[in-house]
Amino acid sequence: MQHPCGNAIGSACRRYERHPVSCEIDGEIFSGNYWVAGMILVVSNATGGTSRQLANNVPEDLAKILLRSLVLASREGRVSTVLASRKAGEFPR
C-alpha cells in the first residue's frame, strides 16, 4: 500500500496539529478546531471552515473570532465559508 502523500517532496505533505476552540453565543457553547499552516490559521467545525492570515495575532484569539463568525454566518443561512479578507475587527461580535 502506497503512502497517502505519494512521492511528496519535503514538507509538501504535512499533518498539522489541531487544537480545540470554542466560543459562547447567546449562552450556547460552539466548538471547532484550529491549526496553523505556515502563516495561515484555519478554523473548522461541523458546518464548514474558514482561514485567515495569522499576521501578529495570537492563534487562539483569532481562532475564537473566526469560529464565532463562522457560527453566526451558519445561523443566518449564509454560505458557511467566511471571507478571509475581512479584518479581525470587522467580524460580528
- Alpha-helical segments (H) within the chain: 59-75
Q: What is the pLDDT of residues 12-65, one digit of tens each?
A: 566 789 999 999 999 999 999 999 999 999 999 998 999 999 999 999 999 999
pLDDT band at 76 (very low <50, low <70, confident <90, very high): confident
Question: Which amino acid is present at 38?
Answer: G
pTM score above 0.85: no
Beta-bridge partners for 28: 25
